[in-house]
Amino acid sequence: MIITSRDNPNVKRIAKLTRRDQAKKEGLIYLEGTRLCEEALASGQTAEEVIVSEDRTGWAEEFTPGIEPLVLSKSVFQKISQTVNPQGVALVIKEPQENNEIPFKDDGKDIYVVLENTQDPGNLGTIIRTADAFGLTAVIVSPTTCDPYNDKVIRATMGSIWHIPIVRKTMDECFGFFDKAGIDTLAMHLNGSELGQSVLKLPCAYFIGNEGDGLTDETSSRCSRLVKIPMRGKAESLNAAVAASVIGYELSKLI
Amino acid sequence: MIITSRDNPNVKRIAKLTRRDQAKKEGLIYLEGTRLCEEALASGQTAEEVIVSEDRTGWAEEFTPGIEPLVLSKSVFQKISQTVNPQGVALVIKEPQENNEIPFKDDGKDIYVVLENTQDPGNLGTIIRTADAFGLTAVIVSPTTCDPYNDKVIRATMGSIWHIPIVRKTMDECFGFFDKAGIDTLAMHLNGSELGQSVLKLPCAYFIGNEGDGLTDETSSRCSRLVKIPMRGKAESLNAAVAASVIGYELSKLI
Kindly report whether the global pTM for this prediction surpasses the value 0.90.
yes
Question: Per-residue pLDDT tens for A65-84?
Answer: 999 999 999 999 999 998 88
Q: Which residues, at least 6 apart from B229, have a Cβ–Cβ distance to it below 8 Å?
A: A133, A249, B188, B194, B195, B238, B243, B246, B247
Domain assignment of residue A140, given as a range? 111-252
Residue B98's pLDDT band (cuts 50, 70, 90): low
Q: Please judge whether B163 and A233 are an interchain contact, meaning their C-beta atoms are less than 8 angstroms apart.
A: yes
Instruction: Please tell me the predicted confidence (pLDDT) of residue A199.
Output: 85
Residue B205 belongs to a domain: yes
Are residues B133 and B46 both part of a single domain?
no
With respect to residue A105, please indicate whether it lies within any of the assigned structural domains: no
Q: Do B230 and A238 touch (CB under 8 A)?
A: no
List, for residues A4-55, the tens digit of each pLDDT value.
Answer: 999 999 999 999 999 999 999 999 999 999 999 999 999 999 999 999 999 9
- The verdict on B46 and B131 lying in the same domain is no
Give the per-residue pLDDT at B176. Answer: 98
Rounded to the nearest 10°, the torsion over CA A61, A62, A63, A65 is 50
Are residues B116 and B86 part of one domain?
no
> Residue B218: CB partners within 8 Å, gap ≥ 6?
B171
Average pLDDT score over residue span A154-182:
96
Say whether B235 and A160 touch across the interface (CB within 8 A). yes
How large a percentage of chain A has pLDDT more than 70? 99
Residue A135 domain-assigned (yes or no): yes
Calculate how close chain A gets to B188, using CA atoms only, in Å. 16
- Of B112, B129, B91, residue with least CA distance to B223: B112
List of chain B residues whose C-beta atoms are within 8 Å of the C-beta of residue A237? 133, 158
Cα separation of B153 and B91, whole Å? 17
* Overall average pLDDT of the B162-173 stretch: 96
Classify residue A104: in a domain, yes or no. Answer: no
Helix (H) or strand (E) holding B241: helix B240-252
Q: What is the CA radius of gyration of chain B?
A: 21
Would the CB atoms of A130 and B235 count as touching at under 8 Å? Answer: yes
- With an 8 Å Cβ cutoff, the interface of chain B facing chain A consists of 122, 126, 129-136, 156, 158-160, 163-164, 196, 229-239, 241-242, 245-246, 249, 252-253, 255
- Burial (CB count <10 Å: 0-12, 13-18, 19+), residue B84: exposed
- Indicate yes or no: CB of B238 within 8 angstroms of CB of A129: yes
Write down the mean pLDDT value for chain B.
Answer: 95
Q: How far apart are CA A182 and CA A172, in angstroms?
A: 15
The closest alpha carbon to B155, from A150, A122, A188, belongs to A122
User: Both A126 and A247 in a single domain?
Assistant: yes
> A59 and A33, same structural domain?
yes
Among B194, B245, B255, the strongest candidate for a mutation testing the A interface, having the largest count of A CBs within 10 A, is: B245
In a domain, B102, yes or no: no
Where does a domain end: A47, A62, A94? A94
Query: What pLDDT, on the 0 to 100 scale, is given for residue B198?
Result: 79
> Quick one: what percent of chain B has pLDDT higher than 90?
95
Dist. CA A145–CA A115, nearest whole Å: 7
Give the best residue of B111, B120, B202, B238 to mutate against chain A (max A CB count within 10 A).
Answer: B238
- Residues A115, A69 share a domain: no
Q: Are A85 and A181 part of one and the same domain?
A: no
CA–CA min distance B132, chain A (Å): 5
The pLDDT of residue B61 is above 80: yes
Residue B162: the pLDDT is: 95
pLDDT confidence bin for B97, thresholds 50/70/90: low
pLDDT digits (tens, 9 = 90+) for B109-144: 999 999 999 999 999 999 999 999 999 999 999 999
Q: Does residue A222 form part of some domain? A: yes
Q: Write out chain B residues lying below 8 Å of A128, CB-based.
A: none
Residue B44 belongs to a domain: yes
A114 in Cβ contact with A220 (< 8 Å): no
Q: What is the number of structural domains in chain B?
A: 2
Best to test chain A binding among B43, B111, B134, B164 (most A CBs inside 10 Å): B134
Q: What percentage of chain A carries pLDDT values higher than 90?
A: 95
Decide which of B38, B69, B94 is a domain's last residue: B94
Please provide the DSSP assignment of chain A as one string: -EE--TTSHHHHHHHHHTSHHHHHHTTEEEEESHHHHHHHHHTTPPEEEEEEEGGGHHHHHHHSTTS--EEE-HHHHHHH-SSSS--SEEEEEE-S--S-PPP---SS--EEEEESS---HHHHHHHHHHHHHTT-SEEEE-TTSPPTTSHHHHHHHTTGGGTS-EEE--HHHHHHHHHHHT-EEEEEEEEEEETTSS---SSEEEEE-BTTTBS-HHHHHHSSEEEE----SS-S---HHHHHHHHHHHHHTT-
Q: Are residues B176 and B65 in the same domain?
A: no
Quick: pLDDT tens for A185-206. 999 999 999 998 878 999 999 9
Q: What is the CATH number of the domain that holds A205?
A: 3.40.1280.10
Residue B99, pLDDT score: 62
Band (A98; pLDDT cuts 50, 70, 90): low
Based on the fold, state whether residues A135 and A46 are members of the same structural domain. no
Alpha carbon distance A182, B29 (integer Å): 53
Beta strands in B152-209 (DSSP E): 166-168, 184-194, 204-208
In a domain, B52, yes or no: yes
Cis check for the bond before B203: say yes or no (omega within 30 of 0): yes
**Last-in-domain residue among A42, A60, A94:** A94
Instruction: Give me the CATH number covering residue B82.
Output: 3.30.1330.30
Residues B121 and B247 in one domain: yes
Q: Tell me: do B72 and B121 sit in the same domain.
A: no
Asked whether residue A173 falls in the same domain as residue A89, the answer is no
In the structure, what pLDDT confidence band is assigned to residue B196 with cuts at 50, 70 and 90?
confident
Chain-chain contact of B236 with A132 (C-beta, under 8 angstroms): no
